[in-house]
Structure formats: C-alpha cells, structure tokens
Amino acid sequence: MTPDLSSIKGITPKRLAVLAETLNISTPGDLVRADRRTILDEMKRQRLRLTLEEISTWQDEARDLAAAGDPGWEQVAAFVVSFEQRETEQGVERRVAAEQAEHEPPVPHQSWPDWPDTAVSAWMQRRLPTSQTDDTDAPSATPADEPSESRAEQSESVTPVAATGATTRPSLTIDKAELVIPGQPSVSLDPETEEPIDVPSGAQLRVTTSGAASGQGIQVALRVRRPGRPSLTQSPTAATPNAPAEIELSALPPGTHAAVLAAWTADGSAAPTVHQLRPLRVPA
C-alpha cells in the first residue's frame, strides 16, 4: 500500500489538494523528488502560507515513508532537472539545469547550454555516493559550483568536454570524528551506541578525512535534525586530506539532534561521503 501524504505533519487537506491536483505530487517519492521552490511558489499563489524549512521537513518525513513503503530499496540520490529557455536578440537560448534534492549537504545547481545535454547525466552520476560509476558512454563535464539558490540568477554555463574513456574516482572517507571538550579527553562520535552524547559550551567537532589527492581541498559540513523540526546544515568547513579540521558547535540549538557529516570536493574529483554520528545533546 502506498503511504499517504496526509500522514505527514503540516500537510493539511488544502495543501494536499494543491500538491496532488496542481503539482501532480501524490506519493512520498514524488514529494522527495520535487523542487521545494516550485512547491513554495504554488502555495503562495494559492494564498497558503508556507516556508522552505517546512517543505524540507515534509521531504525528510516523505523519504522515511517511501523507504517504509518499499522495503529493500534505499534512495541514495535525487535530482531535479529543468529544461529552460529565454528570448534574446539572437533568438531562443536554451539550457538544461540540474539540482541535487538532498540536503546533505546542499549542492548548488549546475547548468549546461542547449537541451537535451548528456553532460547533465554525467554530472549526476558523479554526485552518487559510490565510485562505481561508468562514464564510458557519457561525455564528462567540469562545471564549477555556483553558490546561488535561484536559477534566474545564474548567468554562467559550461560547455561539456568529450570524455576520453572510463574513469573511476577515489572515494572520500571520514576516518575520525571526535568531540573535543576543553580540559577533557576527546570522545569518538562513531555510532557504536545510539546513546546521545552531551555537547557542553565550548566543545568542537574534530574531523579527519582521506581519499582525495594530497593538498586537495575538501568541504566538510555537519547536518543535524531534531524530531519535528527542519534539518539544519552548518556552513561547510575547509579541510585537507589526513589533517584534522575543527567544526564549531556553538550555533546548535538546544535539544537532541540526529547528526551526520558530509564531505565532498568542489571539483567533483572524489566521490562524496556521508558519515553518521552519535546523537548530539545540547543543553538548554
């Protein structure tokens, strides 16, 4: 039986009607794959108040529902692909844009000239959390990450470069994640137990990664989630292979958080990774 979106907190009958009848979103899988901004814009058009944070929470719950409703299958990535065009003095200009839907960490969307464009498929494959992607039949592209959230604000596009053969990327690994408390021994945050660990004032998260080339820049971000609250992803911290990096925890709100670390390279030269941590308990 397909799970019902009405079981998700905050999806009222009016909002459910907009999702199903206007946006053709009727299953948890549809909701996970949907563009949050498209949902927000349509809800506003229907004079229904909503925020991006609320939609993110819906998608988190929908992901859990989708997994429960189809046991044995686990979603590892989801993308929104948009075919766009605009009128210019030279005629109609077209492009295809893609954005990764997950929030671990949020990945800026990319765009390529003309559509269809097989480079978008190669880009999505490089975002999968595995090094077993085969790009033999697809052209590769090396677009630079663009930090804007809005497609309308994007002005740069990247021309695909033909691939010379299959390539296998190294995979990033988070080798060590420790809670560092001033004046006390560090504590491993590997999820050997689900017992929350207290995060006192002044504590930091120390992370050591590997898997990229020596000197390669790595971005590491902490994502936390409290029951019934939107997910929170901290700003990425710069790191290099085999060198510890410190992540501030002072901005975490009080409560017990499920926590994961995500690591990736800006140029896509290594496969990203997501690493689960012990729950973090921040005192009020």
Cα–Cα distances (Å) from 81 to 151, 264, 267, in that order, read 11, 21, 20
Minimum mean pLDDT range among 44-53, 134-143, 162-171: 134-143
Between 116 and 225, the higher pLDDT residue? 225
- Say if CB 94 and CB 82 are below 8 A apart: no
Helix, strand, coil percentages for the chain (3-state, nearest 5): 20, 30, 50
- Tens of pLDDT along 158-186? 333 333 333 456 888 899 999 999 889 99
CATH architecture of 173-282: Sandwich (2.60)
pLDDT score, position 240: 92
Average pLDDT over residues 111-119: 71
- Burial (0-12, 13-18, 19+ Cβ within 10 Å), 91: exposed
Between 158 and 122, the higher pLDDT residue? 122
Average pLDDT over residues 230-247: 87
Q: Which of 130, 145, 137, 135 is nearest to 272 (CA)?
A: 130
Task: Determine how many CB atoms are found less than 10 A away from the CB of residue 228.
Answer: 9
pLDDT score, position 91: 85
Q: Give the E-state strand segments of 37-90 in sequence order.
A: 79-88
- Tens of pLDDT along 72-94? 555 566 676 777 788 888 888 88
Would the pLDDT of 198 be above 50?
Answer: yes
Instruction: State whether residue 208 is helix, strand or coil.
Output: strand
Residues of the chain with pLDDT > 90, as a percent, come to 23
The confidence band for 145, taking pLDDT boundaries of 50, 70 and 90, is very low
Would the pLDDT of 139 be above 70?
Answer: no
> What's the CA gap between 129 and 60, in Å, rounded?
19
Instruction: State whether residue 237 is helix, strand or coil.
Output: strand
Would the pLDDT of 253 be above 80?
Answer: yes
Between 22 and 115, the higher pLDDT residue? 22
pLDDT score, position 171: 82
Q: Which helix (H) or strand (E) holds 259?
A: strand 255-264
pLDDT score, position 157: 33
